Structure 1
């Protein structure tokens, strides 16, 4: 008899047979074939091999050698990944992280934890980030540990798993947004595996062979990836090495599964389950399909849509995130084959925007054909429902043909002299955003720059000749152009009475224009008839707007939102254009 069981490794089919006999105490070959989905002939062959290797007795029972082998195959821990936004879960993810969505009166993550407990696994860590506080109760209730991913908004889940790299051997990796009809975990595991569904999809490039090998498919269709894996020590060490190399190379945009891929093969075997055995809750509609009575379907945004169109939630289709905007979260949906947009105000916007004033602006321009048709706008919390402008695209700040269309519309709007009862007081807003930050600016010369910008106030106010409703956020992204060349201006939440020249400056600084491009923009708006004083006043507005949005970015950054180069460029405009205009004024006053 060969007693060197530690060095001998069973192949995956041999292990599945040993595991099934051990767990079910059943060695009937026909029943084994049914349970494992193998042919009777294959089962007979494997059992004969296991007898020769002394893992089974002559009667087909588990041998002492097999028991010793299995004693090294007990899963010991689990890591649940729950840090991400779950952007596809819009609008639910505005109120609850996706791991805590309830299916049949049970949070997804609690069901996973209970299933792990059923197979004796109590060493459970959860990697959290977005709405991390919502998971805190699990510490007391289930004795789990939380690992906080502070970069959840900028790095993909490879970074989340990397934070748990010291606890992957002999353990499960589990996404938080998955629901299993039957427990997918086991008291005994040996070969590492990644879980796939038998459903084929164009969203997967991996196919699982009959021998459980996972290979890259050339057919652009593969087995649906479920996201759960089990790793033994050898494969856990290999995965950690590969993840560490990718993190060192700052490949933060990858999924952790990318570290399993090696050319056209997976590092570990695949395991297949019927697609009917699980549900992945990645969207509102998937939750609705699995549990139409889930309490999380009763969402404020959904209720607004139901009430506005007099429909049931089941009539709302094709929900997906429009974009993760700087201020708000918006999603597109379809009702009766027509598309609409729901805007949900983002974090901190209640301090930044007066929604009653926004409501008044939309009431003023509601009959204008150059803006979106608003069907619902709450003047208290800012929820907005509007028609989707089909066949349009965002204008391009680097296309002078597009820019000309934008400036023509902006000039036409200004000339209409719309009026509301509030103004956008840019000087007060600068101070307001500055105070909201509740800490000194990160820019070392901020006080000097701010002082230079404030020195421009008399020059600007002495040279305002027009006063009308202005958009304030008239940047290229808020101008839409359709296939016929018609131009629209949307998103009026900052709009108020102001000098129209401010809108020109705002377009330029958002686009990151050089001075040459800035001058060309001014010439387009003014049709080559801009005088020198007005031109320098627009430059001054670029400095003022730069300081305004720089303060805004610093406040947003205190909430965990980083706008990168945009933030730096806004401060640059404040600093450089304030000096440009002050030098001009000094020369002309000499």
Structure 2
């Protein structure tokens, strides 16, 4: 669409627009605006339509409508698949795009703005907490497109999976967590563009270079006083024809999993796309053929800069930025974890700062925060854990072990919900399973626990837990292994044999993953996360630590020797391998159940199941002999 088309679009949207307003809209002089109107009249695109009040108005004629038709916007794709880690703990409960700004959810504001422009065909790419978006189908008649790779790949994969919705169509590409002050969408758009704002000072954003006509010529990360990619984009059908085949080739190229889709576009402009795809000649040829351009001409792909005024487009980088924009979040975010911290420390939420997401654990979600000079960690129970963990028993364990000072310094624990807040240890690191000095010290902590004489009223009964997880899997549709019935029989034999051995019982941690051992700067070791702790055979802790560390037989026996501080006896070795097998079987069931809830742990499930089979076979062979 050239400037005549922009005049026609402006008149279609505002029949009462003045020449002066048109000049401002098109960023041209008043004389140029008058010239454009004159030319449109001469070409029969528009005509004057004097209103009853005597004010000149304009009317779009049939030729003008025909001029605009190829530029009609077909729909929009809203990307809403990601987690939004910089907005924890709010995003533990609510996807970022569903957060409210001034009482209105960000994604809903954009949908309404699209509707105002006559755009009704809207697809939302979802992933994290996808069920939260379901209500939008009924409320706004949108389509949901699930991206199963949302947790492991970036927006390049999202655009790839939405390819069918984009092919041959003029489409807006939006992010669910953007907020636009004024509606910047139209029923008709000229060629592809990317929204841009002027970033003053140093920036690490994607910076744009463009020519006098506004055509983008280069994209690079970082600069000073630059126009940067910020907000929505628009893919014309011509742009998508050239761009999507190259993006598909990138998707199929190893090493691109964490790429944003913008990286593909930047590489095409720079000529780097051909180099990246060079090793797979067939993939390169396919992309060239589908795009209609040889790789040497991919730099000709056309996208314009759509410069937006200050205070028009917002991409909130973190909760603190959102607080500055909408003061509601300074007073109360309606988030359970933030409310808890506020009450515990007797401060308003605005004084909780430096909030950062911790790597998600297999049971809890955690975030760091500061209040005053105190640095803390809050652990939020993960999905489905209310069935897996008895929080009252967990609280009793923490109370029992307090005199040992081997756990984190707990400030708060809720025996009903499982929420925990503890001091965060600056400069600490997790123990390393490959560092035997670390493991020796970790086993010292486990030995101290076992020899403490502390007792609690509940036990960790692995037979009961296997029965329980098996029932959970069956009840919730979890798909068990093909040979599950046979292997379950093997596990029964191991448990029956252990029962005849009358193994000792003491207070055990049960979940001594190396990631739960924290090595402080002082060298002291802390053992975290006591959700599964209870009375049990002490060798269970050694077996569990070994399989969590993916140890082989030699390493497992070395770990047992470090714990015992001597060579193991025959029944101790049997207990080591039997509990490794049973632990592997138990946690594979646990992972199957968690997968039903939407949590995936990759190869962990299979590795655990292999431990069950491998060490049963080892012990059965020894037992028969």
CA contact (8 A) 1:27 1:61 kept: no
CA deviation vs aligned residue, 1:185-224 (integer Å, no higher than 9, x gap): 1233112111232225644243344544252337566655
- Rounded to whole Å, the distance in 1 between the matches of 2:592 and 2:131 is 24
Distance 1:264 1:368, change over 3 A: farther
Task: Provide Cα deviations, 1:53-107, integer angstroms capped at 9, x if missing partner.
Answer: x66869x989987765334323231121223333333222233222222222222
Matched, 1:553 2:591: yes
Residue of structure 1 equivalent to 2:463: 427
Q: How far apart, in 1, do the equivalents of 2:188 and 2:157 lie?
A: 28
Alignment partners' CA distance in 1, 2:617 and 2:334? 54
Contact 1:119/1:185, CA 8 A, preserved across alignment: yes
Aligned residues of 1:288 and 1:297 also touching (Cα < 8 A): no
Deviates more, 1:265-274 or 1:62-71: 62-71
The alpha-carbon distance between structure 1 residues 253 and 578, as it changes in their structure 2 partners (threshold 3 A), is: same
**Aligned pair in 2 of structure 1 residues 199, 218: CA closer, same or farther (>3 Å)?**
closer
Q: Which residue of 2 aligns with 1:278?
A: 313
Is the aligned partner of 1:85 residue 2:83?
Answer: yes
Quote the offset at 1:153 in angstroms. 3.6
User: 2:408·2:422 contact (CA, 8 Å) conserved in 1?
Assistant: yes
Q: Aligned residue for 1:215?
A: 218
Question: What TM-score does the superposition give when structure 2 sets the normalisation length?
Answer: 0.83
Distance 2:151 2:222 in 1: 33
Alignment-derived partner of residue 254 in structure 1 = 259
Deviation, structure 1 residue 340: 1.1
The residue aligned with 1:193 is 193
- Within the candidate set 566, 578, 589, 2:616 is matched to 578
Matched, 1:477 2:477: no
Change (3 A) 1:214 1:306: farther
Compared CA separation, residues 572 and 61, structure 1 to 2 (3 A) = same
Given candidates 52, 56, 74, the residue that maps to 1:76 is 74
Matched, 1:513 2:551: yes
Please, which of 364, 368, 382 is the counterpart of residue 332 of structure 1? 368
Q: Aligned to 1:342, which of 378, 385, 388?
A: 378
Task: Supply the distance in 2 between the matched residues of 1:47 and 1:238 (Cα, whole angstroms).
Answer: 36
2:207 aligns with 206
- For 2:244 and 2:412, how far apart are their aligned partners in 1? 50
- 1:208-250 deviations in Å (ceiling 9; x for gaps): 4454425233756665533411111100222322233234447
- Deviation at residue 170 of structure 1 after TM alignment: 1.4
Equivalence for 1:4: none
RMSD: 3.2
Q: Distance in 1 between matches of 2:8 and 2:66?
A: 12
SS in 1 for 2:123: strand
Matches within 5 A, 1:233-252: 233-249=237-253, 251-252=256-257
Deviations 1:356-381 (A, max 9, x none): 01010111123433321111111111
Alignment partner of 1:565 is 2:600: no
**Structure 2 counterpart of 1:175:** 175
Q: Secondary structure at the match of 2:587?
A: helix
Alignment of 1:281-292 (within 5 A): 281-292=316-327
Query: 2:120 maps to what in 1?
Result: 122
Q: Which moved more, 1:78-87 or 1:254-263?
A: 254-263
Aligned to 2:208, the other structure's residue is in SS state strand
Distance 1:437 1:568 in 2: 16
Tell me how far apart the structure 2 counterparts of residues 27 and 434 of structure 1 sit (CA, whole Å). 69
8 A contact 2:199–2:228 mirrored in 1: yes
Q: Check conservation: 1:91, 1:284, Cα contact below 8 A.
A: no
Q: Matched residues in 2 for 1:219 and 1:126: separation?
A: 30
After superposing the two structures, state which structure 1 stretch, 284-293 or 28-37, moved more. Answer: 28-37
* Whole-Å separation in 2 of the counterparts to 1:498 and 1:246: 51
Is 2:22–2:33's contact at 8 Å kept on the other side of the alignment?
no
Q: TM-score with structure 1 length normalisation? A: 0.88
Which residue of structure 1 aligns with residue 285 of structure 2? none
Distance 2:4 2:447 in 1: 77
Matched, 1:184 2:184: yes
Change (3 A) 1:174 1:496: same
**1:310 and 1:149, CA in 2 relative to 1: closer, same or farther beyond 3 A?**
same
Deviations 1:554-590 (A, max 9, x none): 1112222221221111111110111111222222xxx
Instruction: Give the unaligned 5+ runs of structure 1.
Output: 1-8
Is the 1:204–1:223 contact (alpha carbons within 8 Å) kept by the matching residues of 2?
A: no
The offset of 1:125, in angstroms, is 2.1
**Cα distance in 1 between the residues matched to 2:100 and 2:17:** 40
Aligned residue pairs, count: 572
What's the secondary structure of 1:217's corresponding residue? strand
Q: Secondary structure at the match of 2:529?
A: coil
Deviations 1:103-147 (A, max 9, x none): 222221221111112222122222233333333333333232233
**In 2 relative to 1, CA 305–224 (structure 1 residues): closer, same or farther, beyond 3 Å?**
farther
Cα pair distance change 1:220/1:490, threshold 3 Å: farther
Q: Distance in 2 between matches of 1:82 and 1:410?
A: 44
1:269 aligns with 2:304: yes
Aligned-partner Cα distance in 2 for 1:284–1:454: 51
Is 1:86–1:282's contact at 8 Å kept on the other side of the alignment?
A: no
Alpha-carbon distance in structure 2 between the residues aligned to 1:365 and 1:264: 61
Distance 1:446 1:90 in 2: 39
* Counterpart-to-counterpart distance in 2, 1:189 and 1:551: 53
Question: Aligned equivalents of 1:167 and 1:441: distance in 2?
Answer: 32
Contact in 2 for aligned 1:74/1:188 (Cα 8 Å): yes
**Corresponding residue SS for 1:340:** strand
Structure 1 pair 44–21 and aligned structure 2 pair: CA distance change class (3 A): farther
Residue pair 2:367, 2:377 contacting (<8 A) in 1 also: yes
